[in-house]
Amino acid sequence: MFHKEGAKIIFITLVIAVAVIFLADAFISLMWLKKAVQIIALIFLILVLQFFRNPKRNIQRDDNHILSPVDGKVVVIEEVFEKEYFKDKRLMVSVFMNPLNVHVTRYGLSGEVKYSQYHPGKYLVAWHPKASEENERTTIVVDNKVFGEIMYRQIAGALAKRIVNYAKVGTKVLQGTDAGFIKFGSRVDLYLPVGTELNVKLGDKAVGGITVIAKK
């Protein structure tokens, strides 16, 4: 199953790969070179297909749990001053996605979208300390009946050139459903109330819609 955001790119890549395979067969006489070009075209197609995969997840919805919004690795857990929306101290948990991870962003909890804002910016590597404030990003706040207002931020990286965000202010959202997509590697930061009980530690691998990041 593939994500709808990849439909156009998958189609174009498929056309190019098929064209390269047939052209190589028609115009390259050296067998080893012909096969090498065809294999490279197939590998490129497979990489694009795996990047836009959208595996079905068995979401166990629970308002007492905050689920990871994305697949990746927990790279930051620290208290920070959040100055865009809360304007106070928050516990930030960052999950970094490499190009091989599933790049679907999911709602980590159910509730009402209170804030959704896009910010143009730089394309520093996603793990750069200033990426959260200087890179292209979107900031979303969901109000949940158990945790209150929780923020997550989609952040572009050195390769990610487009962030897709489905969150619209005033809409009701369900935990684990699609919240957007980040193309070609990046990270997502979660901003939780200070003192929130975490269920992960640095270096843990997270699975979007499955791994419990925090709980009551």
Same structural domain, 159 and 188:
yes
Q: What is the pLDDT of residue 131?
A: 59
Same structural domain, 127 and 31:
no
Which residues on neighbouring strands pair with residue 135, listed in sequence order? 122
Task: Give residue 1's pLDDT band: very low, low, confident or very high (50, 70, 90).
Answer: confident
Which residue type does 177 have? Answer: T
Which residue type does 120 have? Answer: P
**Position 60 in a domain:** no
Q: Report which of residues 120 and 68 the model is more confident about.
A: 68
Task: Give residue 125's pLDDT band: very low, low, confident or very high (50, 70, 90).
Answer: low
Same structural domain, 130 and 201:
yes
**Annotation says 116 is catalytic:** no
Which residues on neighbouring strands pair with residue 72, listed in sequence order? 206
Residue 126 has pLDDT above 60, yes or no: no
pLDDT tens readout for residues 17-46? 999 999 999 999 999 999 999 999 999 999
Same structural domain, 46 and 69:
no
Residue 79 has pLDDT above 80, yes or no: yes
Residue 113 has pLDDT above 60, yes or no: yes
Residue 102 has pLDDT above 80, yes or no: yes
Find the domain containing 157 and state its range: 65-215
Same structural domain, 107 and 27:
no
Same structural domain, 47 and 134:
no
Question: Average per-residue pLDDT in the chain?
Answer: 89
Task: Give residue 160's pLDDT band: very low, low, confident or very high (50, 70, 90).
Answer: low
Q: What percent of the chain has pLDDT over 70?
A: 90
Which residue type does 205 have? Answer: K
Q: What residues contact residue 158 under an 8 Å CB cut-off, 6+ apart? A: 123, 124, 125, 126, 185
For 33, the token pair is 């070179």
Same structural domain, 99 and 148:
yes
**Position 201 in a domain:** yes
Q: What is the pLDDT of residue 158?
A: 61
pLDDT tens readout for residues 167-213? 999 999 999 999 998 876 688 999 999 999 999 999 999 999 999 99
Among candidate residues 110, 116, 132, 186, the one labeled active-site is 186
- Residue 79: Cβ-neighbour burial (10 angstroms; 0-12, 13-18, 19+): exposed
Same structural domain, 8 and 108:
no
Alpha-carbon dihedral sign for residues 147, 171, 97, 191:
negative
Residue 105: phi and psi, rounded to 5, are -100, 130
Q: What is the pLDDT of residue 124?
A: 63
**Position 57 in a domain:** no
Task: Give residue 69's pLDDT band: very low, low, confident or very high (50, 70, 90).
Answer: very high
Q: Which contiguous run of DSSP H or E holds residue 132?
A: helix 131-134
**Position 56 in a domain:** no
Same structural domain, 110 and 185:
yes
**Position 186 in a domain:** yes
Q: What is the dihedral of CA 59, 63, 68, 70, to 10 degrees?
A: 60
| Rounded alpha-carbon distances, angstroms, from residue 119 to 54, 106, 139, 149, 183 | 26, 20, 8, 20, 16
Q: Report which of residues 2 and 11 the model is more confident about.
A: 11
Instruction: Please tell me the least confidently modeled range out of 1-15, 73-87, 128-142, 159-173.
Output: 128-142
Which residues on neighbouring strands pair with residue 190, listed in sequence order? 93, 152
Same structural domain, 103 and 205:
yes
18-54 CB burial, b ≥16 within 10 A, e <16: eebbeebeeeeeeeeebeebbeebeeebeebeebbeb
